[in-house]
Structure 1
Amino acid sequence: MKKILMVLTSHSAMDNTDGKTGVWLGEFTDPYYEFIDAGYQITLASPKGGRPPVDPMSELTEHVTGSNRKYNDDEVAKTAFSQTQVLNQIRSDDYDAVFYPGGHGPIWDLAQDNNSGILILDFLDAGKPVAAVCHGPAALISAERQRPGFLNGKIISAFSNTEETLVGRSGNVPYLLQTKLEEFGADVKTALVPFLSHVEKDGLLITGQNPLSAGPTAKALINFLDETAEARRSPEIA
Protein backbone atom coordinates (compact mmCIF):
# COMPACT_ATOMS: atom_id res chain seq x y z
CA MET A 1 0.00 0.00 0.00
CA LYS A 2 1.30 3.45 -0.96
CA LYS A 3 1.54 5.75 2.06
CA ILE A 4 1.57 9.52 2.52
CA LEU A 5 2.20 11.30 5.81
CA MET A 6 0.35 14.55 6.47
CA VAL A 7 1.83 16.79 9.18
CA LEU A 8 -0.55 19.28 10.79
CA THR A 9 0.07 22.21 13.11
CA SER A 10 -0.74 22.07 16.83
CA HIS A 11 -0.62 25.86 17.28
CA SER A 12 -3.75 27.97 17.70
CA ALA A 13 -2.80 31.40 19.12
CA MET A 14 -2.20 34.53 17.02
CA ASP A 15 -0.06 37.48 18.13
CA ASN A 16 -1.65 40.71 19.42
CA THR A 17 -5.21 39.41 19.17
CA ASP A 18 -7.69 37.04 20.76
CA GLY A 19 -8.31 35.52 17.32
CA LYS A 20 -7.35 31.90 16.81
CA THR A 21 -5.65 29.98 14.06
CA GLY A 22 -4.72 26.35 13.41
CA VAL A 23 -5.16 24.08 10.40
CA TRP A 24 -6.92 25.70 7.45
CA LEU A 25 -9.48 22.95 7.02
CA GLY A 26 -9.67 22.97 3.22
CA GLU A 27 -5.88 22.70 3.00
CA PHE A 28 -6.22 19.42 4.84
CA THR A 29 -9.41 18.06 3.29
CA ASP A 30 -8.68 18.92 -0.37
CA PRO A 31 -5.32 17.04 -0.40
CA TYR A 32 -6.62 14.30 1.88
CA TYR A 33 -9.32 13.23 -0.57
CA GLU A 34 -6.99 13.62 -3.55
CA PHE A 35 -4.68 11.11 -1.85
CA ILE A 36 -7.50 8.79 -0.78
CA ASP A 37 -9.02 8.79 -4.28
CA ALA A 38 -5.58 7.97 -5.74
CA GLY A 39 -5.33 4.90 -3.51
CA TYR A 40 -2.96 6.18 -0.85
CA GLN A 41 -3.09 5.29 2.82
CA ILE A 42 -2.87 8.43 4.94
CA THR A 43 -1.27 8.90 8.35
CA LEU A 44 -1.84 12.16 10.22
CA ALA A 45 0.69 13.57 12.68
CA SER A 46 1.19 16.80 14.62
CA PRO A 47 3.74 18.10 17.14
CA LYS A 48 1.42 17.48 20.11
CA GLY A 49 -0.66 14.64 18.71
CA GLY A 50 -4.41 14.36 19.19
CA ARG A 51 -6.84 16.74 17.51
CA PRO A 52 -5.19 19.77 15.92
CA PRO A 53 -6.84 23.18 16.26
CA VAL A 54 -8.82 24.34 13.22
CA ASP A 55 -8.76 27.96 12.08
CA PRO A 56 -12.33 29.19 12.70
CA MET A 57 -12.19 31.31 9.53
CA SER A 58 -11.72 28.19 7.43
CA GLU A 59 -15.09 26.89 8.61
CA LEU A 60 -17.01 30.00 7.50
CA THR A 61 -19.44 29.39 4.66
CA GLU A 62 -17.46 31.40 2.09
CA HIS A 63 -14.39 29.22 2.68
CA VAL A 64 -16.07 25.81 2.77
CA THR A 65 -15.05 23.52 -0.08
CA GLY A 66 -16.68 20.38 -1.41
CA SER A 67 -14.05 18.33 0.42
CA ASN A 68 -14.97 20.10 3.68
CA ARG A 69 -18.56 18.97 3.28
CA LYS A 70 -17.40 15.45 2.43
CA TYR A 71 -15.22 15.45 5.54
CA ASN A 72 -18.12 16.51 7.75
CA ASP A 73 -19.93 13.30 6.76
CA ASP A 74 -16.83 11.08 6.95
CA GLU A 75 -16.51 9.50 10.38
CA VAL A 76 -13.28 7.69 9.46
CA ALA A 77 -11.58 10.93 8.43
CA LYS A 78 -12.88 12.83 11.46
CA THR A 79 -11.63 10.10 13.80
CA ALA A 80 -8.20 10.14 12.16
CA PHE A 81 -8.08 13.93 12.47
CA SER A 82 -8.92 13.77 16.15
CA GLN A 83 -6.24 11.17 16.82
CA THR A 84 -3.12 12.43 15.02
CA GLN A 85 0.09 10.70 15.99
CA VAL A 86 2.79 12.57 17.89
CA LEU A 87 5.34 13.80 15.39
CA ASN A 88 8.42 12.60 17.26
CA GLN A 89 7.21 9.01 16.85
CA ILE A 90 7.16 9.21 13.04
CA ARG A 91 9.83 7.69 10.78
CA SER A 92 10.28 8.68 7.15
CA ASP A 93 11.08 5.07 6.24
CA ASP A 94 7.40 4.20 6.63
CA TYR A 95 6.10 6.61 3.96
CA ASP A 96 6.44 7.48 0.29
CA ALA A 97 6.00 11.24 0.76
CA VAL A 98 5.06 13.93 3.28
CA PHE A 99 2.58 16.79 2.88
CA TYR A 100 2.28 19.89 5.09
CA PRO A 101 -1.08 21.74 4.99
CA GLY A 102 -1.22 25.34 6.11
CA GLY A 103 -3.22 27.60 8.29
CA HIS A 104 -1.09 30.15 10.12
CA GLY A 105 -0.07 27.70 12.85
CA PRO A 106 3.04 26.28 11.11
CA ILE A 107 4.84 29.63 11.22
CA TRP A 108 5.00 29.19 14.98
CA ASP A 109 5.39 25.49 15.75
CA LEU A 110 6.51 23.61 12.63
CA ALA A 111 9.02 26.31 11.72
CA GLN A 112 10.72 25.65 15.07
CA ASP A 113 10.08 21.92 15.47
CA ASN A 114 13.38 20.02 15.29
CA ASN A 115 11.60 16.70 14.72
CA SER A 116 9.83 18.15 11.70
CA GLY A 117 13.01 19.64 10.28
CA ILE A 118 14.90 16.37 10.63
CA LEU A 119 11.95 14.47 9.13
CA ILE A 120 11.91 16.71 6.04
CA LEU A 121 15.64 16.20 5.50
CA ASP A 122 15.24 12.44 6.01
CA PHE A 123 12.60 12.31 3.27
CA LEU A 124 14.69 14.35 0.86
CA ASP A 125 17.89 12.45 1.59
CA ALA A 126 16.02 9.22 0.82
CA GLY A 127 14.84 10.62 -2.52
CA LYS A 128 11.26 11.05 -1.33
CA PRO A 129 9.20 14.16 -2.11
CA VAL A 130 8.16 16.83 0.38
CA ALA A 131 5.07 18.93 -0.38
CA ALA A 132 3.60 21.90 1.47
CA VAL A 133 0.96 24.55 0.85
CA CYS A 134 0.22 28.12 1.98
CA HIS A 135 1.85 28.50 5.43
CA GLY A 136 2.90 24.84 5.40
CA PRO A 137 6.24 25.77 3.75
CA ALA A 138 7.16 27.39 7.09
CA ALA A 139 8.15 23.85 8.07
CA LEU A 140 11.07 24.20 5.66
CA ILE A 141 12.55 26.81 8.00
CA SER A 142 13.23 24.10 10.59
CA ALA A 143 14.99 22.04 7.94
CA GLU A 144 17.07 25.14 7.14
CA ARG A 145 18.04 25.45 10.80
CA GLN A 146 19.08 21.80 10.84
CA ARG A 147 21.08 22.19 7.63
CA PRO A 148 22.09 25.84 7.03
CA GLY A 149 21.96 26.73 3.35
CA PHE A 150 19.24 24.18 2.61
CA LEU A 151 16.82 26.83 1.31
CA ASN A 152 19.38 28.84 -0.62
CA GLY A 153 18.40 28.85 -4.28
CA LYS A 154 15.31 26.67 -3.78
CA ILE A 155 12.35 27.66 -5.95
CA ILE A 156 9.21 27.47 -3.84
CA SER A 157 5.80 29.01 -3.41
CA ALA A 158 4.07 30.07 -0.19
CA PHE A 159 1.47 32.50 1.14
CA SER A 160 2.61 35.87 -0.15
CA ASN A 161 3.21 39.11 1.73
CA THR A 162 0.45 40.70 -0.34
CA GLU A 163 -2.03 38.00 0.63
CA GLU A 164 -1.05 38.31 4.31
CA THR A 165 -1.81 42.02 4.16
CA LEU A 166 -5.09 41.50 2.31
CA VAL A 167 -6.40 38.99 4.88
CA GLY A 168 -5.61 41.50 7.64
CA ARG A 169 -3.31 39.27 9.67
CA SER A 170 0.10 40.78 8.93
CA GLY A 171 0.10 42.38 12.39
CA ASN A 172 -0.77 39.10 14.12
CA VAL A 173 2.16 36.98 12.94
CA PRO A 174 5.80 36.96 14.14
CA TYR A 175 7.10 37.38 10.58
CA LEU A 176 5.95 37.42 6.98
CA LEU A 177 6.54 33.95 5.56
CA GLN A 178 7.55 35.08 2.08
CA THR A 179 10.10 37.49 3.51
CA LYS A 180 11.51 34.92 5.94
CA LEU A 181 11.95 32.29 3.21
CA GLU A 182 13.64 34.87 0.99
CA GLU A 183 16.00 35.82 3.81
CA PHE A 184 17.23 32.22 3.73
CA GLY A 185 17.88 32.53 0.00
CA ALA A 186 14.72 30.88 -1.34
CA ASP A 187 13.27 32.14 -4.62
CA VAL A 188 9.58 32.50 -3.75
CA LYS A 189 7.30 32.45 -6.80
CA THR A 190 3.68 33.59 -6.57
CA ALA A 191 0.69 34.05 -8.87
CA LEU A 192 0.37 37.39 -10.63
CA VAL A 193 -3.01 37.87 -8.94
CA PRO A 194 -3.34 37.22 -5.17
CA PHE A 195 -5.31 34.14 -4.09
CA LEU A 196 -5.11 32.40 -7.46
CA SER A 197 -3.73 28.87 -7.47
CA HIS A 198 0.03 28.56 -7.96
CA VAL A 199 2.30 25.51 -7.57
CA GLU A 200 6.08 25.22 -7.87
CA LYS A 201 8.20 22.10 -8.20
CA ASP A 202 11.95 22.13 -7.54
CA GLY A 203 13.42 18.65 -7.49
CA LEU A 204 11.77 16.80 -4.62
CA LEU A 205 10.08 19.94 -3.25
CA ILE A 206 6.50 20.67 -4.32
CA THR A 207 4.90 23.80 -2.86
CA GLY A 208 1.65 25.71 -3.28
CA GLN A 209 0.82 29.33 -2.55
CA ASN A 210 -2.57 29.49 -0.83
CA PRO A 211 -5.77 27.57 0.03
CA LEU A 212 -6.83 27.37 -3.63
CA SER A 213 -3.47 25.68 -4.34
CA ALA A 214 -3.99 22.84 -1.86
CA GLY A 215 -5.69 20.40 -4.23
CA PRO A 216 -3.36 21.21 -7.16
CA THR A 217 -0.31 20.75 -4.93
CA ALA A 218 -1.60 17.34 -3.87
CA LYS A 219 -2.22 16.42 -7.51
CA ALA A 220 1.32 17.50 -8.39
CA LEU A 221 2.65 15.26 -5.63
CA ILE A 222 0.57 12.31 -6.85
CA ASN A 223 1.79 12.87 -10.43
CA PHE A 224 5.38 12.97 -9.22
CA LEU A 225 4.96 9.71 -7.31
CA ASP A 226 3.25 8.06 -10.31
CA GLU A 227 6.03 9.19 -12.68
CA THR A 228 8.70 7.97 -10.26
CA ALA A 229 7.02 4.58 -9.93
CA GLU A 230 6.67 4.32 -13.71
CA ALA A 231 10.34 5.18 -14.22
CA ARG A 232 11.32 2.44 -11.80
CA ARG A 233 9.17 -0.09 -13.65
CA SER A 234 10.41 0.86 -17.12
CA PRO A 235 13.83 -0.86 -16.92
CA GLU A 236 12.11 -4.03 -15.78
CA ILE A 237 9.70 -3.87 -18.71
CA ALA A 238 12.53 -3.17 -21.15
Structure 2
Amino acid sequence: MHILMVTTSHDQLGDTGHKTGFWLEELAAPYYVFVDDGYKVTLASPKGGQPPLDPKSDDADSQTEDTQRFKSDSKAQGELANTYPLAGINAADYDALFYPGGHGPLWDLVIDPDSIRLIQDFLKAGKPVAAVCHGPCVLLNAVDDKGQSVVDGKEVTGFTNAEEAAVGLTEVVPFLLEDALKAKGGDFLCGGDWDDFVVTDGLLITGQNPQSSASTARAVLAKLSKLTNWPGQGAG
Protein backbone atom coordinates (compact mmCIF):
# COMPACT_ATOMS: atom_id res chain seq x y z
CA MET A 1 0.00 0.00 0.00
CA HIS A 2 1.27 3.41 -0.97
CA ILE A 3 0.27 6.80 0.44
CA LEU A 4 0.94 10.17 -1.18
CA MET A 5 1.54 13.09 1.19
CA VAL A 6 1.43 16.57 -0.35
CA THR A 7 2.91 19.67 1.26
CA THR A 8 2.73 23.34 0.33
CA SER A 9 5.48 25.15 -1.60
CA HIS A 10 4.38 28.60 -0.37
CA ASP A 11 6.54 30.37 2.22
CA GLN A 12 5.17 33.92 2.61
CA LEU A 13 2.64 34.71 5.35
CA GLY A 14 0.60 37.24 3.40
CA ASP A 15 2.09 40.73 3.55
CA THR A 16 3.49 40.36 7.04
CA GLY A 17 7.08 39.75 5.96
CA HIS A 18 7.05 36.57 8.04
CA LYS A 19 7.57 33.05 6.75
CA THR A 20 5.07 30.23 6.63
CA GLY A 21 4.94 26.79 5.02
CA PHE A 22 3.90 23.33 6.19
CA TRP A 23 3.39 22.54 9.88
CA LEU A 24 5.98 20.02 11.04
CA GLU A 25 3.77 18.01 13.43
CA GLU A 26 1.12 17.65 10.73
CA LEU A 27 3.66 15.99 8.44
CA ALA A 28 5.71 14.05 11.00
CA ALA A 29 2.92 12.42 13.02
CA PRO A 30 0.98 11.04 10.01
CA TYR A 31 4.22 10.03 8.30
CA TYR A 32 5.09 7.70 11.18
CA VAL A 33 1.54 6.43 11.58
CA PHE A 34 1.84 5.27 7.98
CA VAL A 35 5.41 3.97 7.79
CA ASP A 36 5.29 2.26 11.18
CA ASP A 37 2.28 0.31 9.93
CA GLY A 38 4.13 -0.86 6.85
CA TYR A 39 2.88 1.63 4.29
CA LYS A 40 5.11 3.20 1.69
CA VAL A 41 4.98 7.01 1.71
CA THR A 42 5.88 9.41 -1.10
CA LEU A 43 6.21 13.14 -0.47
CA ALA A 44 5.23 15.67 -3.13
CA SER A 45 4.67 19.42 -3.45
CA PRO A 46 3.65 21.87 -6.21
CA LYS A 47 7.23 22.92 -6.98
CA GLY A 48 9.03 19.77 -5.92
CA GLY A 49 12.26 19.77 -3.94
CA GLN A 50 12.53 21.09 -0.38
CA PRO A 51 9.20 22.54 0.79
CA PRO A 52 9.20 25.45 3.26
CA LEU A 53 8.79 24.65 6.93
CA ASP A 54 6.71 27.06 9.00
CA PRO A 55 9.35 28.25 11.48
CA LYS A 56 6.82 28.47 14.32
CA SER A 57 6.18 24.75 13.97
CA ASP A 58 9.84 24.19 14.79
CA ASP A 59 9.73 26.18 18.02
CA ALA A 60 10.56 24.35 21.23
CA ASP A 61 6.92 24.61 22.34
CA SER A 62 5.77 22.83 19.17
CA GLN A 63 8.09 19.85 19.46
CA THR A 64 6.74 16.33 19.94
CA GLU A 65 8.29 12.88 19.86
CA ASP A 66 7.28 12.63 16.21
CA THR A 67 8.82 15.96 15.18
CA GLN A 68 12.06 15.13 16.98
CA ARG A 69 12.13 11.72 15.38
CA PHE A 70 11.46 13.20 11.94
CA LYS A 71 14.23 15.76 12.26
CA SER A 72 16.75 13.08 13.21
CA ASP A 73 15.57 10.60 10.56
CA SER A 74 18.01 10.83 7.65
CA LYS A 75 15.74 8.86 5.31
CA ALA A 76 12.75 11.11 6.02
CA GLN A 77 14.87 14.24 5.69
CA GLY A 78 16.17 13.03 2.35
CA GLU A 79 12.63 12.44 1.11
CA LEU A 80 11.57 15.89 2.33
CA ALA A 81 14.46 17.57 0.55
CA ASN A 82 13.47 15.90 -2.71
CA THR A 83 9.68 16.00 -2.86
CA TYR A 84 8.24 15.08 -6.24
CA PRO A 85 6.58 17.84 -8.32
CA LEU A 86 2.82 17.39 -8.37
CA ALA A 87 2.66 17.74 -12.14
CA GLY A 88 4.29 14.33 -12.54
CA ILE A 89 2.14 12.47 -10.02
CA ASN A 90 -0.45 9.91 -11.14
CA ALA A 91 -3.27 9.01 -8.73
CA ALA A 92 -3.30 5.45 -10.07
CA ASP A 93 0.06 4.81 -8.35
CA TYR A 94 -1.28 5.43 -4.83
CA ASP A 95 -3.92 4.15 -2.44
CA ALA A 96 -4.63 7.29 -0.40
CA LEU A 97 -3.87 11.02 -0.46
CA PHE A 98 -2.94 13.06 2.63
CA TYR A 99 -2.41 16.81 3.06
CA PRO A 100 -0.63 18.26 6.10
CA GLY A 101 -1.56 21.84 6.89
CA GLY A 102 0.29 24.94 7.89
CA HIS A 103 -0.86 28.27 6.49
CA GLY A 104 0.99 27.81 3.19
CA PRO A 105 -1.75 25.74 1.48
CA LEU A 106 -4.17 28.68 1.79
CA TRP A 107 -2.17 30.41 -0.91
CA ASP A 108 -0.96 27.67 -3.26
CA LEU A 109 -2.59 24.25 -2.89
CA VAL A 110 -6.10 25.69 -2.72
CA ILE A 111 -5.82 26.74 -6.38
CA ASP A 112 -3.09 24.39 -7.65
CA PRO A 113 -4.46 22.64 -10.76
CA ASP A 114 -2.38 19.51 -10.25
CA SER A 115 -3.54 19.16 -6.66
CA ILE A 116 -7.16 19.64 -7.69
CA ARG A 117 -6.72 17.06 -10.46
CA LEU A 118 -5.28 14.54 -8.02
CA ILE A 119 -8.06 15.01 -5.47
CA GLN A 120 -10.68 14.49 -8.16
CA ASP A 121 -8.87 11.45 -9.56
CA PHE A 122 -8.47 9.83 -6.13
CA LEU A 123 -12.13 10.31 -5.26
CA LYS A 124 -13.31 9.11 -8.67
CA ALA A 125 -11.21 5.96 -8.17
CA GLY A 126 -12.75 5.35 -4.73
CA LYS A 127 -9.59 6.23 -2.83
CA PRO A 128 -9.48 8.20 0.47
CA VAL A 129 -8.46 11.86 0.54
CA ALA A 130 -7.42 13.25 3.93
CA ALA A 131 -6.28 16.63 5.19
CA VAL A 132 -5.57 18.18 8.57
CA CYS A 133 -5.76 21.70 10.06
CA HIS A 134 -5.50 24.18 7.13
CA GLY A 135 -5.02 21.23 4.77
CA PRO A 136 -8.76 20.84 4.05
CA CYS A 137 -8.56 24.06 2.01
CA VAL A 138 -7.31 21.84 -0.81
CA LEU A 139 -10.86 20.52 -1.19
CA LEU A 140 -12.45 23.91 -1.87
CA ASN A 141 -12.02 23.92 -5.64
CA ALA A 142 -12.33 20.20 -6.32
CA VAL A 143 -15.57 19.02 -7.89
CA ASP A 144 -17.28 15.73 -8.62
CA ASP A 145 -18.43 14.42 -12.00
CA LYS A 146 -21.55 16.59 -11.77
CA GLY A 147 -19.53 19.74 -11.17
CA GLN A 148 -20.54 19.94 -7.51
CA SER A 149 -18.05 20.75 -4.78
CA VAL A 150 -16.64 17.58 -3.22
CA VAL A 151 -17.50 18.99 0.23
CA ASP A 152 -21.11 19.84 -0.66
CA GLY A 153 -23.33 17.94 1.78
CA LYS A 154 -20.31 16.32 3.47
CA GLU A 155 -19.33 16.51 7.11
CA VAL A 156 -15.90 18.14 7.33
CA THR A 157 -13.66 19.90 9.81
CA GLY A 158 -10.53 22.03 9.78
CA PHE A 159 -8.84 24.92 11.55
CA THR A 160 -11.70 26.90 13.05
CA ASN A 161 -12.41 30.62 13.01
CA ALA A 162 -11.84 30.65 16.77
CA GLU A 163 -8.45 28.95 16.43
CA GLU A 164 -7.42 31.38 13.68
CA ALA A 165 -8.36 34.27 15.95
CA ALA A 166 -6.39 32.67 18.79
CA VAL A 167 -3.20 32.71 16.72
CA GLY A 168 -3.85 36.28 15.63
CA LEU A 169 -4.06 35.66 11.89
CA THR A 170 -7.71 36.33 11.09
CA GLU A 171 -6.81 39.49 9.17
CA VAL A 172 -3.73 37.95 7.53
CA VAL A 173 -5.05 34.79 5.90
CA PRO A 174 -6.68 35.12 2.45
CA PHE A 175 -9.86 33.47 3.79
CA LEU A 176 -11.13 31.73 6.91
CA LEU A 177 -11.20 27.99 6.30
CA GLU A 178 -14.29 27.30 8.39
CA ASP A 179 -16.29 29.93 6.49
CA ALA A 180 -14.99 28.76 3.12
CA LEU A 181 -15.92 25.11 3.73
CA LYS A 182 -19.41 26.16 4.81
CA ALA A 183 -19.76 28.35 1.72
CA LYS A 184 -19.06 25.30 -0.46
CA GLY A 185 -21.90 23.40 1.24
CA GLY A 186 -19.82 21.56 3.80
CA ASP A 187 -21.41 20.56 7.09
CA PHE A 188 -18.64 21.95 9.31
CA LEU A 189 -18.15 20.14 12.62
CA CYS A 190 -15.55 20.87 15.26
CA GLY A 191 -14.45 20.22 18.79
CA GLY A 192 -13.17 22.85 21.21
CA ASP A 193 -10.09 24.89 20.42
CA TRP A 194 -7.06 22.58 20.09
CA ASP A 195 -9.12 19.44 20.68
CA ASP A 196 -8.14 16.28 18.82
CA PHE A 197 -11.10 16.07 16.42
CA VAL A 198 -11.46 14.09 13.18
CA VAL A 199 -14.39 13.65 10.79
CA THR A 200 -14.81 10.85 8.24
CA ASP A 201 -17.56 11.16 5.64
CA GLY A 202 -17.28 8.71 2.80
CA LEU A 203 -13.84 9.05 1.25
CA LEU A 204 -13.16 12.46 2.85
CA ILE A 205 -11.22 12.48 6.11
CA THR A 206 -10.47 15.79 7.80
CA GLY A 207 -8.78 16.79 11.06
CA GLN A 208 -9.25 20.04 12.94
CA ASN A 209 -5.77 21.12 14.05
CA PRO A 210 -2.20 19.95 14.76
CA GLN A 211 -3.43 17.94 17.73
CA SER A 212 -5.53 15.91 15.28
CA SER A 213 -2.64 14.92 13.01
CA ALA A 214 -2.03 11.35 14.14
CA SER A 215 -5.74 10.65 14.58
CA THR A 216 -6.44 11.81 11.03
CA ALA A 217 -3.79 9.43 9.73
CA ARG A 218 -5.21 6.56 11.77
CA ALA A 219 -8.62 7.32 10.28
CA VAL A 220 -7.05 6.88 6.84
CA LEU A 221 -5.79 3.44 7.85
CA ALA A 222 -9.22 2.56 9.18
CA LYS A 223 -10.81 3.59 5.90
CA LEU A 224 -8.26 1.64 3.87
CA SER A 225 -8.89 -1.44 5.99
CA LYS A 226 -12.53 -1.35 4.89
CA LEU A 227 -11.59 -0.92 1.24
CA THR A 228 -8.85 -3.55 1.05
CA ASN A 229 -7.59 -6.75 2.60
CA TRP A 230 -4.31 -5.11 3.64
CA PRO A 231 -3.14 -6.95 6.80
CA GLY A 232 -1.21 -4.06 8.38
CA GLN A 233 -1.58 -3.41 12.10
CA GLY A 234 -3.48 -0.18 11.51
CA ALA A 235 -5.96 -2.01 9.34
CA GLY A 236 -7.33 -4.03 12.22
TM range (shorter): over 0.9
SS in 1 for 2:33: helix
Q: Which has the higher helix share?
A: 1
1:49 aligns with 2:48: yes
Q: Which residue of 2 aligns with 1:236?
A: none
1:115 and 2:122 aligned: no
Q: Does 1:206 align with 2:205?
A: yes
- Deviation of 1:227 after TM superposition, in Å, equals 2.4
CA–CA separation in structure 2 for the residues paired with 1:36 and 1:149: 31
Q: Is the 8 A contact 2:140 2:149 kept in 1?
A: no
Which runs of structure 2 are paired with 1:56-71 in the superposition (5 Å)? 56-71=55-70
Q: How far did 1:141 drift?
A: 1.3
How far off its partner does 1:151 sit? Answer: 2.1
The superposition leaves residues 16-38 of structure 1 with CA deviations (integer Å, 9 ceiling, x where unpaired) of 31111100000000000000001
Query: Which shows bigger deviation, 10-19 or 147-156?
Result: 147-156
Cα gap change, 1:138/1:229 in structure 2, threshold over 3 Å: closer, same or farther? same
Alpha-carbon spacing, 1:144–1:125, altered in 2? closer, same or farther (3 Å): closer
Conserved? CA contact 1:88–1:115, under 8 Å: yes
1:7 matched to which residue of 2?
A: 6
**Aligned pairs, number:** 230
2:129 counterpart residue number: 130
AA matched with 1:3 = H
Inter-partner Cα distance in structure 1 for 2:112 and 2:225 = 30
Q: Which residue of 2 aligns with 1:17?
A: 16
Do the aligned residues in 2 keep the contact of 1:116 with 1:142 (CA within 8 Å)? Answer: no
Instruction: Output the CA distance in 1 between the equivalents of 2:175 and 2:144.
Output: 16
Q: Distance in 1 between matches of 2:151 and 2:226?
A: 25
TM-score, normalized by length of structure 2? 0.94
Could you list the runs of 5+ residues in structure 1 that have no partner in the other structure? 232-238
How far apart are residue 145 of structure 1 and its match?
9.6
Residue matched to 1:177: 177
Structure 1 runs of 4+ aligned residues shifted over 4 Å read none
Q: How does 1:121-160 map to 2 (within 5 A)?
A: 121-144=120-143, 147-160=147-160
Separation in structure 2 between the aligned mates of residue 64 and residue 170 of structure 1, nearest angstrom: 24
Identity of aligned residues (%): 47
Partners of 1:19 and 1:170 in 2: how far apart? 15
Superposed CA offset, 1:101-153 (max 9, x none): 00011111010011111110100110100010001101001314993433211
Alignment partners' CA distance in 2, 1:223 and 1:65: 24
The answer to whether the Cα contact below 8 Å between 1:160 and 1:177 also exists between their aligned partners in 2 is yes
**Unaligned residue ranges in structure 2 (runs of 5+):** 231-236
